[in-house]
Amino acid sequence: MKPKIVFSEKCLAYGSWHVEGPERVRKAYEVLKERGYEFLEPEPASEEDLLRVHDGEYVWMLKKGLIEDGDTPAYENIFEYAKLSAGGAILAAEVKGFSIMRPPGHHAGRNGAALGANTRGFCYLNNIAIAVRHLGKPTLILDIDGHHGNGTQEIFFGDDRVMYVSLHRHPHYPGTGAVSEANCLNFPLWGDCGDEVYLETLDGALGMVDVGRFEVVAVSAGFDTHMGDLASLGLTEKGYREIGKRIAALKKPTFFVLEGGYVGEQIGKDIGELLKSF
């Protein structure tokens, strides 16, 4: 049985001009619908869920529309959209599915911008962190977005119930993730390195993890690593299929949360390849 896809058309209602705009998700949805995936509608995350991850003052300011930077505008009702996206991640965690909700989340730290970045990189709430804290289980977070998830690292740094593993382009926004620290294993890669180098690096990264310690695998699934996308690592559809095989081989309950990727039809195809082993 194919994993269920978490999606709501409500997330298409803002930011039509932005690079992180609705078309990337709309087109991905259409591809996955054509491929016969079942869809689930999420509910917004509760403020209790948000406060397990984010500082109360930051949540209040986001609610009031007082949070804005060049990458991350204070759209009307953005707090409601962000809560719905976080709720999508929670639902994906509960059903072992894939949330394709927007906005993304892995650059959002406890108080917004994290680890030296001066923007939140299109992110308002850290969706995957909220879902992991909601489950409350020992979790391996694998971040395959083309950008380092500085917010996720900040939130879980030193948390012995969570290991964060990121493969990302470097140097590139946000400029973090050059070295591994504590429970955060970082694997910087050069642009357009290609499937072979990426998969060798992923194999090495997973070989460093004591998978038996963890009950859940949570994947920050960014597709801006696809050849020609915003943080290209030269990956192909075959590359994502091979990534999926390696994740499935961990034999743990797994869920996925969409991060980057800006060519919508290609995102849908890449998701289909990533999920073929599940």
Domains and CATH numbers, the chain: 5-277 (3.40.800.20)
Mean pLDDT of the 54-80 span: 93
Per-residue pLDDT for 115 more than 80?
A: no
Residue 263: which residues within 8 A CB-CB, separation 6 or more? 24, 223, 226, 228, 229
- Give the per-residue pLDDT at 266: 97
Q: Which two tokens stand for residue 185?
A: 């294993």
pLDDT band at 116; cut points 50, 70, 90: low
pLDDT band at 236; cut points 50, 70, 90: very high
Model pTM score:
0.98
pLDDT band at 70; cut points 50, 70, 90: confident
End-to-end Cα, the chain, rounded Å: 8
Question: How far are the Cα atoms of 24, 51, 57, 207, 222 from residue 260, in angstroms, in the given order?
Answer: 9, 24, 27, 26, 4
- Give the per-residue pLDDT at 123: 96
Percentage above 90 pLDDT, the chain: 94
Question: How far are the Cα atoms of 57, 117, 273 from residue 112, in angstroms, in the given order?
Answer: 10, 10, 32
For residues 90 and 82, the answer to whether their CB atoms sit within 8 Å is no
For residues 53 and 76, what is the distance between their CA atoms, to the nearest angstrom?
23
Mean pLDDT of the 69-78 span: 91
Q: Which of 54, 106, 107, 148 is catalytic?
A: 107
- 107 tagged catalytic: yes
